Structure 1
């Protein structure tokens, strides 16, 4: 495509001949189309490429009636750029404060976006007006003080190749070109902010909307390659992934439209077939023309296409440009797009200035007639073409925005500021020590005392407010100090559109507030039903899930896995789940930590109430049995097996039942100290009483043998020694336990998921199992002795009952250990209580129920005579 260049010249009314050895031959200049010249003391001679495009009509057989004149088409949007130059010059000439008594003028040349024309125009500037003799200046001529070029950046470096040799300041209203020669770059002043600020803005915009899965299209030139190599990696470092990175086809037109359409079709299928809803376009001012041509030709060629809208994010270099035959084409594709634009303010008088433009009244305008014909689709009467006649009274404001805009665009605003920059720099020179008065004319200075590089110095240090109230200045690198506006494009069915400023990029502020945007003011493409578009490789991982990388895909693509047990994630798209604090637990969705509630075996819950009721029932029956035995203490069956030992056993069983109440209720320090020790000591007494009773029975029968020396051991002291010894040993174990590592109340936060168990910690697990082991040892001896004595005569023998009771006792406690270890929370306490109750109840029932039956139901069997008869 084509770009244009503005050249600011200074006309000096004097004769200079720099090369006296060379003959001043007059030579006709090469044809530079549409010279627009207005003389003045200072001439802003401008080369503006109207962006003529030479088309081969054969290549457009299926296009809809293009408007053309002998194959020559002009882009009407660029006419506003010329008007911005003319308007700025007019304002300055009417301003007595800037360059008083000096008139500015300008020249405009068309570069046709051709390197050849760029070089030719540059050489024209170094020649005498009307004579194409570079570096040979005779008579009155235009000597360039500064050059304004643009907007296509890749052509500007060719302009710099020649003009930088003469150290002429060059201003560009497009982005700065990529230059390898530092000397050439040193004389460039860019009416465009530092490109890095725009790229930071695009990155912040993408992250603001969480668009991390995008496509990228860039122009196939040096700037596009630099964008891919230098900028996109920084996007990746911030978490942005690219589904595709494609380049626009080369910007040329050829007869091989089949190949061209194939290229466009391939690009279209990639873009529209992608899952990314956001596409970043890094282009130039003409890029939208290519985009519209691509979309339109696919329709004209009946190529099947997927109708899928995208959110286009466009750089500030781009604009909605069109060729005349595109004026009727749909622009809805740009609806909802976001673009960057150099921060600007509207110059209110500019619209009035455009409104007053008429072909009849502006005969010095060499472009207006061609523009008028192309814009309104008519011809002036002197044309040979049989089409609608232009009256010259048509209104520019009736044109759709895609053809011509009445409000000043950002590119025109840059041209406007460029003209003002040159004027202010000249004014600074005039007011500085470099100013030299000429005696014959106080209002002019001598060119021989003024060099172009001096203007360059003043441009670099320039700072002023334009007529719109905006500050204009350049940074040390020659870039405009300004921010960017974020524009939201809104289109309408009548091919009109509206640019809505929805945000701004302020490069001078910190990173966290660099971007400001009004989300509520945004209009999105129709496909999204005014909901903010989502552009992700896959759906978000919701809270309660974590991301995991998918092999062979970009890092933005991932699978979502539920958090492991006990962990949560309370944010979307997190890579890791984290553990809840010990006093919290995950909810069912694993996205929230809920405080655990404290539990313990309480009297208020059914389990605690049930166990307490059993304790009271067994305690009551034990007390009843003890009462029965006390009441019938003189009966033979009570006296037969050591009455005092029987009382001790019953009292210890009663205490065994009652000690379980220490396990129910909120654990306190005192209750924790008494729980295990009381249980161990009391149970050791109970089991030792059974052991003593069994040993008494065995010794009693062995003592009946003639000459037995065991009679003395059958007396009461033996039973007392056994009970006391067992009690003493267990008491010593419990004392050591309490002295070394006593039990204490503690919160068990890990056993249960949703609860913290308040329980008595054993302190020393070893001592706990030593106490249980001693009880087991006593029970095993009692069982063994009773088992051996089970066949002794039944009248005096309790061994059978003791054997059965100890069998139950051992079975209960052997089952207790694995059950206790496999149970968690308050149920561990319940298991221990149940074991105490079951073993104690087994002893009570198995040993004393037969005796109570005899005492209460068969008193006839509880007589001495009956016992003697049985013995016989």
Structure 2
């Protein structure tokens, strides 16, 4: 659609002016970099350039920008000697390659090294400068605005956060970024950082190794301090996750950064003072640890066991500043000790006069020797003039002791990895193919696949995540002769080994805080001894718990048991609750007092019955014995003997036969006994019925009928017992429920119906016998046996009525004792009530044992 609206004349004039200006600018169109160009702090030309990003200064001056003028460039302060040495290690590796005839023959490597001043924003800026260069390119020239990267690879940075920012920016260009000290596990994510590689293991392995180290010494209650950056936060997150899996709890976990205000660091000091844990895991880089150490020394916080990451544990500068020995006995992971031959001599041979284009070396020299190259400025500041020929070997040990040699070795391996990749790409043999156009993507792929050994024999290769194999030395801070801690290797950690062999420690050589040989203890709660279990304290971590004694019947035989194990049914816990012991078997035995007394009573009853039988046998022809069927009397005495003896079957260890015998013998003998008593009662009734005029009852209840009645009544019980034994007989049974710590050996009834049928039948006969005896109690007779039968049956019924609740409520062997007591009591009742009065007359009053006397009283009453 065309716009038909007419513009005002002023609008057309403005449009024409803009077109003229644009046309005039088009003639001078060039590719220009926005902002000021970035110049490297150290550089050297070469056929192939390798970039370097290091924090040669650790801070910068803050300015209050007015936003009315263009901001000035960043003013860096606080020269960082560590990174300066690391940068020199990169230069040494490049020079070593240039002097080699085997690697990249005829190719010279150059470098451009930039200072980031510890600023992430500046790290990104210098990375783009390395990728783009600072040249001004005109459109009219043959050189296009888009051209290959200025450098083929970048070495650095020392920290994880700057590396993450740089890797994000240069990742799309596939420029390899190889770090020597950025350990954050997040950098292993190749979807975010496809061109990042490193020559130091990932913190994923270090964090897990630190957790295993803490667990190895039994420290389950620890504090944690981390740097508030990607290195500290990610590393501590992995440590916390692994620690929880290993049963380690963090009492506190705090973060800080070296630029935090003093009050925040003071809060950390207060937390440490108030804590109960004696172990502190510090996931910090050197600069942050240096700040923290300064504060800790002011408060003299000694006696804590420090566990450190590789960021500070092997740093000699911290050891030198630890004047109060706060870190004595510290233990942690370190990059394996390494040696790069010639690098010490190379660094100590630095001279400003020999280093053209290395402007930062002048500042380094002036700071190191407290002098000035500018004579007029030196005079004004009362400083001596630098000659440039000062001897570095005369400086303090922190610069010349080469404590950073493992990091130098990492830089060395990184530079050599790039050189080997270039060597393969250029097809170098005796000479290299100069016509090959270098592409950072191809270089990146070759670096990922290289595998070589350095001069010192170190293997160099990268896994799929761009990480090297994870190996650490475990070092311990031990007091040295000069008062400065020595770093003593006390073990190794190798993540490539099986899980149970990764950690290898030499415990005998360890020194702990206060120069102690005793491993410090750091637990929230003391270990729970065997026989107890852990119960968590409400609202506290899982490492804080109370030790509760196991309940009866439960045990725990391990330290810090979470649960108590229930003992098997035949076992019970001992007094300490740390083992299950076999339960005592309880049954009514002959050896114990109760069993012996009942046995004695049974035998006494048997003997007493035998004596009565003997008396009756010797006086069998006397009237009192012959009265109402002496045959039934002897049968009754025989059955009473069996009743006394059957009680013995209830004593002793239950067996299959004894269980079947005791109840059936008891049931049959008692029915036989009651049948005889019932027969005697009926004889009494029938005898007096037969004495009435015209009565002929006795012919229907003579001796034969009496025998048949006893036989029939007894056979009925025998049939009941046979059915019981056939269908579901009694059997030995181990009762675990009555007494918890004992096994009650008893006889299970099998069929409860059978048991109560036997008892019920005895009860029916006893009740019937009692009623008949009760009816015959006032019959005329000088010796009315019915009275005594009534008394005996009254005792019998009373005993067995009270037996039922006592039997049901008595535990274990006491129920058997109750049953025996009921058998003996009822047997003695029958024996005493029925036979003792007769024996008394036979033995003590023989004058009454006459037929005349027996019938006399009755004659008088009827006359």
Task: Report the TM-score range of the alignment, normalised by the length of the smaller protein.
Answer: 0.7 to 0.9
1:506-655 to 2 correspondence within 5 Å? 506-511=494-499, 513-526=501-514, 530-536=518-524, 538-655=525-642
Matched, 1:97 2:97: no
In 2, Cα distance between equivalents of 1:867 and 1:159: 133
1:708-727 to 2 correspondence within 5 Å? 708=695, 710-712=697-699, 715-727=702-714
**2:575 aligns to what SS in structure 1?**
coil
Matched, 1:189 2:197: yes
Report the equivalent of 2:181: 174
**1:829 aligns to what SS in structure 2?**
helix
Matched, 1:347 2:339: yes
Report the equivalent of 2:323: 330
- Quick one: structure 1 residues 51 and 768, their matched pair in 2 at CA, closer, same or farther if it must change by over 3 Å? farther
Deviations 1:664-718 (A, max 9, x none): 3343333332221111101111122222223333443444344445444564345
Counterpart contact for 2:309–2:332, Cα < 8 Å:
yes
Report the equivalent of 2:54: 48
1:470-485 to 2 correspondence within 5 Å? 470-485=458-473
- Quick one: structure 1 residues 689 and 414, their matched pair in 2 at CA, closer, same or farther if it must change by over 3 Å? same
Residue 745 of structure 1: how far off its partner (Å): 3.0
Residue 247 of structure 1: how far off its partner (Å): 2.0
Residue 186 of structure 1: how far off its partner (Å): 1.6
1:406-421 to 2 correspondence within 5 Å? 406-421=402-417
In 2, Cα distance between equivalents of 1:392 and 1:856: 141
Matched, 1:663 2:650: yes
- Quick one: structure 1 residues 323 and 285, their matched pair in 2 at CA, closer, same or farther if it must change by over 3 Å? closer
Residue 814 of structure 1: how far off its partner (Å): 3.0
Query: Could you tell me which of 348, 362, 370 is aligned with 1:357?
Result: 348
Report the equivalent of 1:111: 116
Counterpart contact for 1:684–1:775, Cα < 8 Å:
yes
Report the equivalent of 1:315: 309
**1:147 aligns to what SS in structure 2?**
strand
Superposed CA RMSD in Å reads 4.4
Counterpart contact for 1:76–1:404, Cα < 8 Å:
no
Counterpart contact for 1:350–1:407, Cα < 8 Å:
no
In 2, Cα distance between equivalents of 1:603 and 1:87: 99
- Quick one: structure 1 residues 756 and 521, their matched pair in 2 at CA, closer, same or farther if it must change by over 3 Å? farther
Counterpart contact for 2:729–2:751, Cα < 8 Å:
yes
Report the equivalent of 1:497: 485
- Quick one: structure 1 residues 827 and 122, their matched pair in 2 at CA, closer, same or farther if it must change by over 3 Å? same
**1:476 aligns to what SS in structure 2?**
coil
Deviations 1:714-768 (A, max 9, x none): 6434533442232122111101101111223343344443443444332212211
Instruction: Point out the structure with max Rg over C-alpha.
Output: 2
Report the equivalent of 1:468: 456
Counterpart contact for 2:183–2:201, Cα < 8 Å:
no
In structure 1, list runs of 5 or more residues that go unmatched. 1-19, 57-69, 254-259, 300-306, 436-441
Matched, 1:453 2:467: no
Deviations 1:248-273 (A, max 9, x none): 1x4426xxxxxx22211222222342
**1:334 aligns to what SS in structure 2?**
coil
Report the equivalent of 2:227: 219
Counterpart contact for 1:287–1:318, Cα < 8 Å:
no
In 1, Cα distance between equivalents of 2:506 and 2:602: 73
Report the equivalent of 2:787: 800
1:335-414 to 2 correspondence within 5 Å? 335-342=328-335, 344-347=336-339, 349=341, 353=345, 357=348, 364=355, 399=397, 405-414=401-410
Report the equivalent of 1:694: 681
- Quick one: structure 1 residues 92 and 542, their matched pair in 2 at CA, closer, same or farther if it must change by over 3 Å? same
Is the deviation greater in 463-472 or in 192-201?
A: 192-201
Is the deviation greater in 621-630 or in 169-178?
A: 169-178
How many residue pairs are counted as aligned between the two chains? 804
**1:530 aligns to what SS in structure 2?**
coil
- Quick one: structure 1 residues 319 and 547, their matched pair in 2 at CA, closer, same or farther if it must change by over 3 Å? closer
Deviations 1:191-240 (A, max 9, x none): 23344333443444455555554444333235555567787557556655
- Quick one: structure 1 residues 800 and 396, their matched pair in 2 at CA, closer, same or farther if it must change by over 3 Å? farther
Is the deviation greater in 448-457 or in 389-398?
A: 389-398
Counterpart contact for 1:118–1:159, Cα < 8 Å:
yes
In 2, Cα distance between equivalents of 1:468 and 1:409: 13
Counterpart contact for 2:333–2:473, Cα < 8 Å:
yes
Counterpart contact for 2:690–2:696, Cα < 8 Å:
yes
In 2, Cα distance between equivalents of 1:501 and 1:247: 29
Residue 340 of structure 1: how far off its partner (Å): 3.0
Counterpart contact for 1:261–1:294, Cα < 8 Å:
no
1:19-98 to 2 correspondence within 5 Å? 35-36=41-42, 46-53=52-59, 73-82=78-87, 84-89=89-94, 91-92=96-97, 95-98=100-103
Residue 626 of structure 1: how far off its partner (Å): 0.9
In 2, Cα distance between equivalents of 1:348 and 1:497: 24
Counterpart contact for 2:168–2:193, Cα < 8 Å:
no
Is the deviation greater in 160-169 or in 795-804?
A: 160-169
Counterpart contact for 2:188–2:466, Cα < 8 Å:
no
- Quick one: structure 1 residues 54 and 628, their matched pair in 2 at CA, closer, same or farther if it must change by over 3 Å? same
Is the deviation greater in 236-245 or in 664-673?
A: 236-245
Report the equivalent of 1:685: 672
In 2, Cα distance between equivalents of 1:370 and 1:700: 145
In 1, Cα distance between equivalents of 2:791 and 2:364: 119
- Quick one: structure 1 residues 750 and 494, their matched pair in 2 at CA, closer, same or farther if it must change by over 3 Å? farther
- Quick one: structure 1 residues 187 and 176, their matched pair in 2 at CA, closer, same or farther if it must change by over 3 Å? farther
Residue 817 of structure 1: how far off its partner (Å): 2.8
**1:189 aligns to what SS in structure 2?**
strand
1:767-782 to 2 correspondence within 5 Å? 767-782=754-769
Counterpart contact for 2:30–2:136, Cα < 8 Å:
no
Report the equivalent of 2:166: 159
In 1, Cα distance between equivalents of 2:822 and 2:422: 106
Counterpart contact for 1:502–1:518, Cα < 8 Å:
yes
Deviations 1:577-619 (A, max 9, x none): 3322222222223332223354544444554444333332322
Counterpart contact for 2:177–2:197, Cα < 8 Å:
yes
Counterpart contact for 1:289–1:322, Cα < 8 Å:
no
**2:487 aligns to what SS in structure 1?**
strand
In 1, Cα distance between equivalents of 2:237 and 2:207: 13
In 2, Cα distance between equivalents of 1:118 and 1:788: 123
In 1, Cα distance between equivalents of 2:799 and 2:401: 97
- Quick one: structure 1 residues 113 and 500, their matched pair in 2 at CA, closer, same or farther if it must change by over 3 Å? same
Residue 289 of structure 1: how far off its partner (Å): 2.0
In 2, Cα distance between equivalents of 1:225 and 1:459: 29
Residue 774 of structure 1: how far off its partner (Å): 1.8
In 1, Cα distance between equivalents of 2:697 and 2:618: 32
Residue 651 of structure 1: how far off its partner (Å): 0.7
In 2, Cα distance between equivalents of 1:251 and 1:393: 33
In structure 2, list runs of 5 or more residues that go unmatched. 1-27, 63-74
1:197-216 to 2 correspondence within 5 Å? 197-209=205-217, 211-216=219-224
- Quick one: structure 1 residues 456 and 273, their matched pair in 2 at CA, closer, same or farther if it must change by over 3 Å? same
Counterpart contact for 2:105–2:432, Cα < 8 Å:
no
In 2, Cα distance between equivalents of 1:479 and 1:805: 102
Counterpart contact for 1:48–1:109, Cα < 8 Å:
yes
In 1, Cα distance between equivalents of 2:689 and 2:509: 108
